[in-house]
Chains A and B, each alone.
Chain A
Amino acid sequence: MNKRLQLRLATSKVFEYFIMLLAFLITIPLFAIIYYVLKTGLSKLSWHFITNIPKPVGEIGGGIANALAGSLLIVLVAAVIAVPIGILCGVYLSENRNSKLAYWSRLAVDVMQGTPSIVIGIVIYFWIVKPSGSFSAISGSIALAIMMLPIVIRSTEETLKLLPSSLKEAGLALGLPYHKVILRVIIPCGISGILSGVMLAVARIAGETAPLLFTAFGNPYLTTNVLKPMQSLPLLIFNYATSPYDEWHDLAWGASLILLIWVLLLNITTKLITRKWKVQF
């Protein structure tokens, strides 16, 4: 009997260490990636690097200003499109949990979340790029906005579902019309969760390459015209890393590091915001 007990306790210990080991192992790829990108990219980073556009092959120097500005602009426009729509859809889904429209809408959101990004890119290509006759940053933003939507919608819905219904009643009992209850009570109370969903969605799309391949397309020059092709960090990395030139490989590593820092910062900010702006009941 005692022996059996000891065996069972030993098995428990082994199991405990095993899952601990797995939890430790999953941190390795992240740190390996950060380490490798830091090692190869850090030496390329400089003020010059982020304020200059790439030089032609053969010339020393050059930077990624066009891609950095392009990425920021494309992502910003995508967020401007997706955030209001996403939040309001999320509000609808949390307010009307059992309606038929909510059921279909939720299903559409789930399927959209699983749609491969390259498919979204090609659809936007046929819908916008071909009819308009030109690659453009705005078409890239629309493709990315479609990718953002499901994340924003679902995180808004899940956040608002957790708010107590007494909060809504408090607003209604003060004579607030429904839209003011939503805009001035419900959304402000869920703002930390909603914002963290938005930030995660931005972090998610910042590194997307596939939808931009046949929409924003890329551009070796600095431009802010959203109706023209525009460079972005992932596109630059894709194009330059697959080129045969060492100078371009360097640019790709530097750009990778910038992109990685951007996404890490977004994730850390998200954590801080969720903690700081969390509404206590």
Chain B
Amino acid sequence: MESAILSSKNFNAYFGNNHVVKNVSMDIPKNNIVAVMGPSGCGKTTYLRCINRMHELIPGAKVEGKMLLHDKDIYSINPILVRLKIGMVFQRPNPFPNLSIYDNVIAGYKLNGFKIKKSERDSIVENSLIKAALWNEVKDTLHKKGTFLSGGQQQRLCIARAIAMEPEVLLMDEPTSALDPISTSSIEELMHELKKNFTLVIVTHNMQQAARVSDKTAFFFLGELVEYDDTREMFINPKDSRTQNYITGRFS
């Protein structure tokens, strides 16, 4: 197995006194898709948001333990730099409504004020949209507002926006939960393509999705990491009874 790009050690997260992620230790290998699944309120989204330090934006939020990116503690790096290395796609598509498709893709550079040449910009936009499987649909309407696209297209636009920054890790927080089945399957196909270049961590409450797309799966329950294994192994032969109950649908 390749080395872990991301790993957490005895990681805890709180909202005030509410302990939502409890002592989670897991290694995420490079160029893998890791699915984090579990019932609502099990802390999976919070765990994901701790990886790019979005959790701490909520008043009263705090964390304990270590979260390492290439063996360097993420919490010792400036959050702005962390977020440049670890991109994120949200539950609901959130393209910038005031920007065109083109400007949305290049937003990470443009809004940050990073100076790049026009030709370079064009190629970043084209490559990101190709990687996000959106290029063919939008290449003639690049200067229209991103919000004119359908929900599934908007989500792929958000993926293009995130990968344009060439992050090492891409976090996806239930990226298909607001989408119809056709858009969902196109995003899932896209994930397989993306793992060639990126490491993906995907939160989902949908275990079929976890089974379909991921290499490894982590099962969270009530803030604990119950089980973490290769996806095939976990679904065929779960070790913990709680995982088994969840997979067989005995509770949701």
Contact = CB atoms under 8 A, between A and B. Distances in A.
B98 A174 contact: no
Interface string A164-193: 101101111111110010001100110100
Contacts of B107: 174
B52 A189 contact: no
Contacts of B96: 167, 170-171, 185, 189
Contacts, number: 70
Interface in A133-188: 164, 166-167, 169-177, 180, 184-185, 188
A176 B92 contact: no
A185 B111 CA distance: 8
Interface in A92-146: none
B54 interface: yes
Given A166-B90, A176-B112, A177-B80, A279 B158 contact: no
A183 B108 CA distance: 14
A171 B111 contact: yes
A189 B112 contact: no
Contact of B84 (A166, A175, A189, A191): A175
A280 interface: yes
A274 to B, nearest CB: 15
Given A167-B94, A180-B112, A175 B158 contact: no
A175 B80 contact: yes
Nearest to B109: A174
B53 to A, nearest CB: 9
Nearest to A188: B98
A172 B165 contact: no
A173 B52 contact: yes
B97 interface: yes
A184 B96 CA distance: 10
B90 A170 contact: yes
Nearest to A170: B94
A96 to B, nearest CB: 10
B83 interface: yes
B145 A173 contact: no
B94 A166 contact: yes
Interface of A: 164, 166-167, 169-177, 180, 184-185, 188-189, 191, 279-281
Given A166-B94, A172-B57, A279-B98, 9 more contacts: A169-B57, A170-B95, A173-B162, A174-B161, A175-B81, A175-B83, A176-B80, A176-B112, A191-B98
6 contacts: A166-B90, A174-B108, A175-B83, A175-B165, A180-B112, A180-B113
